[in-house]
Amino acid sequence: MIIKPSNLASSRREFLQGLFPGGALLLSGCGLLSASSRLQNKPAKATVIGQQVMTVLGPIPVEKLGVTLTHEHAAFGYLSWFADESVAPYDQKQIETRWVKILNELKALGIQTVVDPAPADTGGRDPIVLRNASKKTGVQTIMATGLYWEAEGGAMYYKFLQGRGRNIEQDIYELFMREITVGVGKTGVKAGIIKLSSSDPKMTEYEKIVFKAGVRAAKETGLPITTHCEGPNVGPEQMDFFLSLGANPQKIIIGHQNNSTDLDYFLGQLNRPGFYLGFDRTGFSDPKAEDCIIELVKRGYANRIVLSHDYVATWLGRPFKWAEGRMTEEYYYPTYIHKQFVPRMKAAGVTDEQIRTMMVENPCRLFAAK
């Protein structure tokens, strides 16, 4: 099994009592990272040896995650991009070069870990690119196994199999387990997180099958789950479905919260204990969502929020221009949080400690939770 409990696990309980009164979160030493490592470009000082996280270069202690962006992409292409490959071929070298450049910029800002949750059934998840770029830059990278939402992922294939008598929940579970325990294809690069995705406002029956397979794999391997919500409504349904499957909410990010700007939507989800809200489209989304993040932090929810940009460094297929207003490098770039949003949060009274909670402790606790 990939995620091994530390042989010092028994020592966790006592020091965590002070951190998380009531023992609600019996985790590793995430909360005890050195204050001097705060948002700086050096490894956080681990107080204890905790569990391990699978990166594209192999397992690392969870305490070494440090400042983490939970949702960025080296590349992405909608499912049929490859139909255009004769005119817009896949250029692995160019994708890697661009990703290395971006990781170096992130590293210079103190970011130590990037999660790339590209699913298996869209274009862009390339274990070799992720591995090479991580090796060249030293930025720790966590790759996903998982599937995209029904309308934009590989549902056709699985529904075809299902219509011919195959148990696709089992098939999908086996795929996830293979990518977690053996690796993607023949690369030997293993997934460290499970990506699950759904339509909005309601999950489809196919998506529920994928979620069931994902929760089975998560329970068996200890990997966390991060989700795609296609719109601003489905977060609570995803949460309730996870709970009905017996998943541990402390291991789950409900993603793309920035699709909404409704404070009540966030508070409704925060009423369900444990889950992290992934404000992982910060930058290009409506800045009113950023106001909501600040408000939620002020209301004491910093320990339930993770931040990222959902940036795509290379779009596969033919080049195109964004039409929308905030899809420019000023907003749609993975340095936005550090360069623009962090100063904005601080000006609004958010403390360094709260920022560190969102960017260091929460990702650490997510991966460490059992």
Smallest gap from residue 255 Cβ to Zn ion (A): 8
d(CA 147, CA 117): 10
Q: Of the two residues 61 and 176, which places its CB atom closer to Zn ion in the complex?
A: 176
Q: Of the two residues 169 and 310, which places its CB atom closer to Zn ion in the complex?
A: 310
Smallest gap from residue 4 Cβ to Zn ion (A): 29
The one among 310, 314, 333, 354 contacting Zn ion by CB under 5 A? 310
Smallest gap from residue 52 Cβ to Zn ion (A): 25
Window contacting Zn ion (CB under 5 A); options: 257-265, 302-310, 317-325, 348-356: 302-310
Smallest gap from residue 195 Cβ to Zn ion (A): 8
- Angle at Cα 259 formed by Cα 338 and Cα 211, nearest 5°? 105
Smallest gap from residue 8 Cβ to Zn ion (A): 35
Q: Of the two residues 207 and 310, which places its CB atom closer to Zn ion in the complex?
A: 310
- Residue of minimal Cβ distance to Zn ion: 310
Q: What is the 3-state secondary structure (H, E, C) of 158-205?
A: HHHHHHCCCCHHHHHHHHHHHHHHCCCCCCCCCCCEEEEEECCCCCCH
Window contacting Zn ion (CB under 5 A); options: 282-290, 299-307, 310-318, 320-328: 310-318
The token duo for 86 is 């004769």
Instruction: Report which DSSP code applies to 123.
Output: B
Window contacting Zn ion (CB under 5 A); options: 124-132, 151-159, 305-313, 347-355: 305-313
Instruction: Tell me the number of residues near Zn ion by CB under 5 A.
Output: 1
With beta carbons less than 8 A apart as the criterion, state whether 196 and 147 touch: yes
With beta carbons less than 8 A apart as the criterion, state whether 337 and 280 touch: no
Residues 6+ apart with CB under 8 A from 24: none
Q: What residues from 122 to 151 belong to the interface with Zn ion (CB under 5 A)?
A: none
Smallest gap from residue 198 Cβ to Zn ion (A): 13
Q: Does 72 bind Zn ion (CB under 5 A)?
A: no
Window contacting Zn ion (CB under 5 A); options: 6-14, 19-27, 173-181, 303-311: 303-311
To which residue do tokens 């999950």 refer? Answer: 203
**SS3 of 33, please?**
coil
Window contacting Zn ion (CB under 5 A); options: 22-30, 160-168, 306-314, 328-336: 306-314
d(CA 30, CA 6): 14
Going from the C-alpha of 311 to that of each of 52, 115, 286, 338, the distances in angstroms are 26, 11, 15, 14
Instruction: Report which DSSP code applies to 324.
Output: S
Smallest gap from residue 73 Cβ to Zn ion (A): 6
- State the residues that interact with Zn ion by CB under 5 A: 310
